[in-house]
Structure 1
Amino acid sequence: MQSTVMKNLQTLNVLPILALASLFIKISGSTSLRPLLTGPDMAYLGSRVTFWCTAPDSSPPATYELMGDGGVLIGTDINFEGDQSARFVLKVTATSEGSYLCNVTAGGSTGVSNSIKLSVVTPPSNIRVTSEPFPPVAYEGSRFVLNCTAKGSHLSYTWFFNRKEVTSSTSPAFRLSGNKLVMGKVTLEHAGSYYCMAKSRVQDTERFSNSAKVQMTVKVYISKPRISFSISKEGASYHGNVTCWSTRGSPPVNFSLTLDDREVGSVTATESLTAWFPVAMVPGLDMGVARCRVNTEVQELTSEPVTLVVVPVRGDVKVEVEYLYRADSELATARLSCQVSRGTFPYVSWLFNNSVLPSETHVDSHIQPALSQYAVADHRRTLFLAKLGPEESGYYRCRARDSYDDSGPWVESPAVLIRVTDRYLNSMPPATPSTETPQNAPMTTIEAITIAFCCFLFLMLAGCVGCVYIMFDHEQAHDHVATTNPSSDALPLSSPLSQSEGKQDDTSSTDSDQNQTVEITV
């Protein structure tokens, strides 16, 4: 009986130890089970991905469970062999994005793996470019932004300008900001075609899509309009024409003409920056004050006023001569200017020894081949003697008439005689290069004037010295006479001048036919 009680007591003492040992075995098995989940963190929508769950040192059978967000069971796999991996293949949908982990149960123990966050990448589609402002038209100096919009996720953007990739380093005028291409101050160089590329990348796989091309137009602000007018004659009638124009700007622009603040015409210029308006005009009458006005979608400008008065050519006409020298003070050319006192639209013609020079068909500011020694400019009002020699000596004058009336009267200037001489012309053999040394070269006009002025000063100085000497000598003689004969009257030092002395020859100042004479020495 006692032995039986002792055995029962021993059994009761062993049971807690066995229970603790069993619990320890379970706990140790649970902590030693450490599964590992491997797989992608990004995947394209519609593709398939594979997750691998591995539990090293697990005893079979092992149960593998792939769990999603919120403890959702994705898939289960049972492995009846030890130390194996479970494979889970998923088709990626829009709801596949999230975190995944793996639970492993083996030998009565359960382990939880690491977590993998899967991102679902949507390839780019529906690529297009929008602009700010829209449509893609910008003025010089304004801000302009292009946006690349696309459907998809995890996208990057690349811009192309005239088929060349735009980068911040190669194109400092552009600024890249996400899906935007920013131009802080637009210039004419920014005009052209643009398109963008949206692309996504998963590991080594890249997918991209391009937008359609967008043509950007850069406009120039219109400049202040200018105004001019002209007149023509057909038979006995006169016709006026007012021209409005701007020097810079982007068409189309609208030009309008006001006469005494009343609009008389309007024209839209689509290809140029000039417009013409017919107006009534009569020579000698004030037809009113005209202004040009130009309008664009962002500007409205008005020209300076001009009075529509055509003054006929009348009054005095004269020729002014100016000489032009080279850097070495050698005379290069002579410039003759025709000054017309009255006339809005004078036509000027030049005559040399009563012959028209150049011909009436001569084009302004060009040189006629047959008369290359002459050139005209400034609407024929200026004549240049491009070559100076004895052949150019003679009488020059200009005449003017109204340019709009070919049958109108001429108003002529007095003739100007230009005499061109060459001191060394006869001493030099023809067509032979000059062998004169610099010491024997002809003096320039400035050198001759300088030498003449020095000689004049020297003569003046010598004359002054002589006068002082004579005055001093006469003073001594007067004192001597006064001393020797005090009672006698002083005799005059010189006899009175004859009446003929000091007169000038009247014929030397006679001016024949009011002609001017200009002598040029070269």
Structure 2
Amino acid sequence: MSHTHRCDSEEISIHTSCWTMTKRTFFLLVILGFCATWQKADAQITLGKPIFRVPSRSLEDSYENFYCELDKIPTNQTILYQWFKEGNLNKPLGDYSSHSKEEATFTVQVKLAYDGRLICKASVQNNSEIMPTFSDLMDFQVLVPVEGVHIISNPTSGDLWEGDSLTLQCNITKGTSVLYDWLLNGVHLLNDSSNNQITIPRLSSQNSGVYVCLAKNSLNETHDYTSKSERRSVHVKEYLSTPEISYEVVKHAKGNFSAYVKCQVAKGSPSINYTLFINNHDVHVVSSEDQHALFPVPIVLDQDMGTVYCQADNGKTPVQSRELKLKVESVGGPMRMRLEKAVTQDFEVLGVWIYCSVEKGMFPQYCWFRNNKSLENQGPFYRTFHPNHAGLMVRLHPDTAGSYHCEAFNLFDNATRVSGPRTLITHDAFNKIPTAVAATVFIFFSLLICAVLACCIYGVVLRKRQARKYMFRLKDFTDMHSVVDDDGVDDKIEELEEDEYEEREHDDLDTEAYTEDMEVVQASMMEDSDKSEEEEENNLDNYSF
């Protein structure tokens, strides 16, 4: 019995111990489940999208503040903010731990490496169960002041000629977001500001000058960081045009003469070497910065000194002028004068132009005289024209009356003169009707009156003759119808026809104007003839009775 009781006591002790352990395990399991449930609920928290605020641009090595924050933070845990550059999210450029839900502020010393697109990341610190979120990408521009601007030219050296190509490139040693401006002699050229070079495919003289490159970038749209390049001087050389050759004659104090041959180009860059050739021999060479050169050549008047031409060269292809015959002929021979009138619509002569020309002479000069008194180049009623004063214009009024003539002499020597014919110029002489013209008009008018008078007389005579013929014919027909004898009638008719035939042979007058009268006469004659035939038939009838 005792043994059994002891066993029951031990069994009860074991059951009590097992219950105690089971109770503890239950409570532990409850606590672990609650913790697991809390962690699971906590893991379901999500963060909103952070807002990242950065300036659009900033200067290198300056200090700027970047801001990042969440609109709503659904947890009391610490939020970790980090910012990165696009394409490198494994390397944060800055971080900030927010304990009281304040926004993150990053104080940044701007570096050139930050230029590009930036992003902010928000996450719960030391808790990888809550998924982090990212802001939108923000553009950030790092400005580096422009330094070391210089121009590179292609071609780099040598002369530039019109038609060649030229490229100028503006290079810098430092600077970002650079815009370029080009100036020629202080004037802006139209060019793409983002392009650091300009190209001129065909140079001309207008492209000559000083080129300057202006490189710049801006900060906050208010300040310009600008650097000017060293100046680049461009000189475009022009090709020479074909030279023109001419000469002037000069008389020296000793009485000898020289021809100053002028070789001139219209365009071409200096310096220019001019060469004169006489009879294909090189005789003179002159280097000049001007577009012409003079060569003195001794000559003798009225003698053939040969041919001359010149050549110009400015370093490219030499150009040659035409050949010119060097023979100076002095004035001589007869003088010719030609006169033209200025006439109004009423045929009134208001003025005259007089032209003089001498037969010989290469450099003639003219002077004019009125009543043997020399005239100036211009006066109250006249003026000379043409470069050598070969023409004279005279306005007609009473003061212009006089005898005019011209004289010719050598431009380089007025010792030899040739005088022209004299002509009388007055207002009345040019505006009165000439005698020959008046006589011609009078004769023509007289002949016209005579012709009209003859026509009138001719018409009167013809009408009278026609009237007389009509009366004769009427009388003859009356006498003819009064005769009954046929033979007598036939004889009478034959006589009348013979008389009429003779009258037609001797009548030369035109009777076309009186056709109407003849038709009346013929009609009357036919009526008389019909009446006569009726009377004869009646007489025959009576006779038969």
Q: Quick check: TM above 0.5?
A: yes
User: Residue 394 and residue 74 in structure 1: after superposition, are their counterparts in 2 closer, same or farther (change >3 A)?
Assistant: closer
| 2:43 partner SS | helix
* Residue 237 (str. 1) matches residue 256 (str. 2): yes
Q: Which residue matches 1:119?
A: 141
Q: Which residue matches 2:63?
A: 48
| 2:61 partner SS | coil
TM normalised by structure 1 equals: 0.65
Q: Which has the higher contact order (CA 8 A, sep 6+)?
A: 1
* Residue 256 (str. 1) matches residue 275 (str. 2): yes
User: Matched residue pairs, number?
Assistant: 437
- Cα deviations by residue, 1:251-270 (Å, 9 ceiling, x for unpaired): 55444333344443343442
| 2:299 partner SS | coil
Q: Which residue matches 1:492?
A: none
> How many Å separate the matches in 2 of 1:257 and 1:145?
40
| 1:289 partner SS | strand
The correspondence of residues 171-250 of structure 1 with structure 2, limited to 5 A, is 174=190, 176=192, 178-179=194-195, 195-204=212-221, 206-211=223-228, 223-234=241-252, 235-247=254-266
* Residue 461 (str. 1) matches residue 476 (str. 2): no
User: Residue 5 and residue 160 in structure 1: after superposition, are their counterparts in 2 closer, same or farther (change >3 A)?
Assistant: same
* Residue 386 (str. 1) matches residue 402 (str. 2): no
Q: Which residue matches 1:502?
A: none
How much has 1:128 moved relative to structure 2?
4.8
- Cα deviations by residue, 1:210-269 (Å, 9 ceiling, x for unpaired): 526667778777554322112223224321211122445665544433334444334344
* Residue 24 (str. 1) matches residue 73 (str. 2): no
* Residue 399 (str. 1) matches residue 420 (str. 2): no
The correspondence of residues 205-354 of structure 1 with structure 2, limited to 5 A, is 206-211=223-228, 223-234=241-252, 235-247=254-266, 252-270=271-289, 272-296=290-314, 301-325=319-343, 330-353=348-371
> How many Å separate the matches in 2 of 1:471 and 1:267?
95
How much has 1:420 moved relative to structure 2?
1.0
Indicate the structure with greater helix content. Answer: 2
> How many Å separate the matches in 2 of 1:416 and 1:23?
138
Q: Which moved more, 1:6-15 or 1:55-64?
A: 6-15
- Which of 101, 108, 127 is the matching residue for 2:120? 101
User: Residue 331 and residue 205 in structure 1: after superposition, are their counterparts in 2 closer, same or farther (change >3 A)?
Assistant: same
- Cα deviations by residue, 1:7-60 (Å, 9 ceiling, x for unpaired): 69978986995576355235323x336554432343221212222343552534
TM normalised by structure 2 equals: 0.63
Q: Which moved more, 1:157-166 or 1:100-109?
A: 157-166
User: Does the 8 Å contact 1:100/1:118 carry over to 2?
Assistant: no
Give the structure with higher Rg (CA). Answer: 2
**Long gaps (5+) in structure 1:** 167-173, 424-442, 476-482, 487-522
**Long gaps (5+) in structure 2:** 1-14, 463-498, 503-545
User: Does the 8 Å contact 2:47/2:133 carry over to 1?
Assistant: no
- Which of 148, 153, 165 is the matching residue for 2:176? 153
User: Residue 468 and residue 315 in structure 1: after superposition, are their counterparts in 2 closer, same or farther (change >3 A)?
Assistant: farther
> How many Å separate the matches in 1 of 2:58 and 2:162?
46
Q: Percent identity?
A: 22
> How many Å separate the matches in 2 of 1:467 and 1:345?
67
User: Residue 318 and residue 93 in structure 1: after superposition, are their counterparts in 2 closer, same or farther (change >3 A)?
Assistant: same
> How many Å separate the matches in 1 of 2:144 and 2:67?
24
Q: Which moved more, 1:175-184 or 1:328-337?
A: 175-184
User: Residue 462 and residue 285 in structure 1: after superposition, are their counterparts in 2 closer, same or farther (change >3 A)?
Assistant: same
- Cα deviations by residue, 1:78-97 (Å, 9 ceiling, x for unpaired): 44x32123332222233333
> How many Å separate the matches in 2 of 1:326 and 1:177?
68
What's the Cα RMSD here?
Answer: 4.9
State the AA in 2 paired with 1:123.
Answer: P
